[in-house]
Amino acid sequence: MRTHDNDTSTLHHPQNSTERPNLHYTLHRYNHYSTTKSLTIHICYISSIYLIVASFLTTTTTALSSSSSPASRLRNLCLTSRKTSSAIALPGVHDALSAIIFAESGANALFLSGFGVTASRLGSPDAGLLTQTEMEDATKCVVSALSLSSSSQSPPPLLMVDGDTGYGGAANIRRTIRGLACAGAAAVTIEDQTFPKRCTYAAGTGVSTVPRSESMSRINAAIAAREEAKNIDGNDILLVARTDCRLERGLEEVIERCKTYEALGADIVYAENLQSRQEYEALRSSLKGETLTMLAQLQLYPNDEDEKRRIQGAPYTIDDVGDMGYDLALFGVTGLQSAVGALQGVAREFFANKGIVTSRDDNTEIVRTMASFEEVKRVVGFPKLDEFESRYYHD
């Protein structure tokens, strides 16, 4: 069979040094080596460019995402508010509906209260009964409802979530932080109570806190989880480090813990249940000026214990809180207090008046607390839903 000149498979290979090399074979091997080397260089070059571009795009995307994240927006809101020496109102909500109602009235930020969610979801006291997954689910519902009820001209309020003690050890804290960040929370609080925790205002001197060293471990675990949420999951979230040790350990320990949390890298520092304006001012002056801080209060009701607080100057207005140097004015269970009071009044009138709430002339206060059915439909979004569906479905 005839062999073609360009068929390299049949080229004559020199067998020993005494045999004269075939020039065609030698040139072919040289060209093959040069082509392979050149191709390898090009592949390495292209791969390097790809890695550089991919790294740049990832960094840029992360930066853009972080700059518009709920956490960044909350931080910027605090910094902007400082220019007017005004605190940001942070009303507490307990479910999606209460969040929508406060958002309609102009809230820029909201607090999803563990006390409130435990009460509304379980009908139980805030005593460590609520689970991490239940709180994360409540967060998703609130964030989704706020998003659906907002518009491009009116972005949804930012949500800070009560993370309690983190629901366990370091691994639980990690899951809590990353889960709430993924759910859309702008910030999460982690406190230093022992388990099972108690509401500080409800339990008073019955609140027990862990040693300072253990509280530091919690905050360090939370900070590590915050960084993982940002760098691995792409979800930025602010960490609010909270102490509840005032009645158990005294003001000096409160100050030392808050200074420690500040040094560890917490984004916001928060001490619960200080006993006077002087104590709040002493805490604030012990921290760095740039540190973001929060002050929490209850809405007071005319009884003997609350009258004592009134004499001491509480409750403080949002302007009072700003004047003391605090950035966030938290009223954690305002929505729940209002809902319980309104429902109790309507329930009493319902049974006293054989099911008819609005017919009695002396019923004006109760009538004002009860919305019309048309208003309920509007609040939960029926008009928006009808408008959306009309674009795609026609009779």
Higher per-residue pLDDT: 254 or 205:
254
Going from N- to C-terminal start, the domains of the chain cover 23-67, 70-335, 353-390
Segment 195-214 mean pLDDT: 90
Higher per-residue pLDDT: 3 or 237:
237
List CB contacts of 196: < 8 A, sequence separation 6 or more: 127, 128, 129
pLDDT of residue 308: 64
> What is the reported pTM?
0.81
pLDDT of residue 136: 99
Under the banding of pLDDT at 50, 70 and 90, the label for residue 307 is low
pLDDT of 63 above 60: no
DSSP class per residue in 263-319? HHT-SEEEE---SSHHHHHHHHHHS-TTSEEEEEEPPP-SSHHHHHHHHTTPSPPHH
pLDDT of 12 above 70: no
Under the banding of pLDDT at 50, 70 and 90, the label for residue 292 is very high
CATH 3.20.20.60 fits domain 70-335: yes
Segment 100-128 mean pLDDT: 97
Percent of the chain having pLDDT more than 70? 77
Which of 64, 195, 71 has its CA nearest to residue 131?
A: 195
pLDDT of residue 284: 99
Highest average pLDDT, of 149-163, 308-322, 351-365, comes from 149-163
Q: Count Cβ atoms below 10 Å from residue 379 Cβ, excluding itself.
A: 14
Segment 46-69 mean pLDDT: 58
pLDDT digits (tens, 9 = 90+) for 242-270: 999 999 999 999 999 999 999 999 999 99
Higher per-residue pLDDT: 145 or 349:
145
Segment 311-338 mean pLDDT: 91
**H/E element holding 56?**
helix 23-67
Segment 126-141 mean pLDDT: 98
Helix ranges (H only) for 105-211 are 114-117, 132-149, 170-183, 200-203
Tokens 């709180």, residue?
Answer: 135
pLDDT of 128 above 60: yes
pLDDT of residue 4: 47
pLDDT of residue 300: 83
Q: In the structure encoding, which two tokens stand for residue 250, read together?
A: 């005294």
pLDDT of residue 17: 46
Round to whole Å and give the CA distance between 226 and 176: 10
Higher per-residue pLDDT: 290 or 394:
290
pLDDT of residue 359: 52
pLDDT of 2 above 50: no
Question: What does the mean pLDDT of the chain come to?
Answer: 86
Under the banding of pLDDT at 50, 70 and 90, the label for residue 58 is low
Under the banding of pLDDT at 50, 70 and 90, the label for residue 369 is confident
Which of 110, 227, 87, 219 has its CA nearest to residue 159?
A: 110
